[in-house]
Amino acid sequence: MTLHLRTYKNLTDKKLSSYLKVGEVDGIVILMQSPGSDEYNFPNFRVTYGGSKAIFSIDEPALVKGKLPIDVSINILKWAKENRDDLYKSWNNLF
């Protein structure tokens, strides 16, 4: 499975609960919470897929917490490395 996500330019239109939706493909949803509003003091994003949830760091993309199917995790990590600059832009533009 190849993951092709795009980062939304206008994040405020993609609110989902207390998170902002950054992207979605094939049931994989990428979310961010504004800096300082979660328990992590580093740039991160969250992934939901089916009933599974996980948190990934942006700096050096890695799974921080949670569990996803292995193929989904591998594709998320690859995508995050390739799109790190866009993830940082999204992180820095929150609220």
Dist CA 62 CA 48 (whole Å) = 15
- Helices 84-92/70-82 angle, 10° precision: 80
What are the pLDDT digits (tens) for 38-70?
Answer: 677 789 999 999 989 999 999 999 999 999 999
Q: How confident is the model at residue 8 (pLDDT cuts 50, 70, 90)?
A: very low
What are the pLDDT digits (tens) for 19-33?
Answer: 788 888 788 999 888
What are the pLDDT digits (tens) for 9-22?
Answer: 444 434 445 678 88
Q: What is the pTM of this model?
A: 0.78
Dist CA 52 CA 34 (whole Å) = 21
Dist CA 12 CA 7 (whole Å) = 12
- Retrieve residue 30's tokens: 């990428």
Average pLDDT for the chain: 80
- In the sheet with 15-16, reading across from the earlier edge strand, the strands are 15-16, 19-25, 28-32, 44-49, 52-57, 62-66
* Comparison of pLDDT for 51 and 36, the residue scoring more: 51
Q: Which of 50, 44, 13 is nearest to 31 (CA)?
A: 44
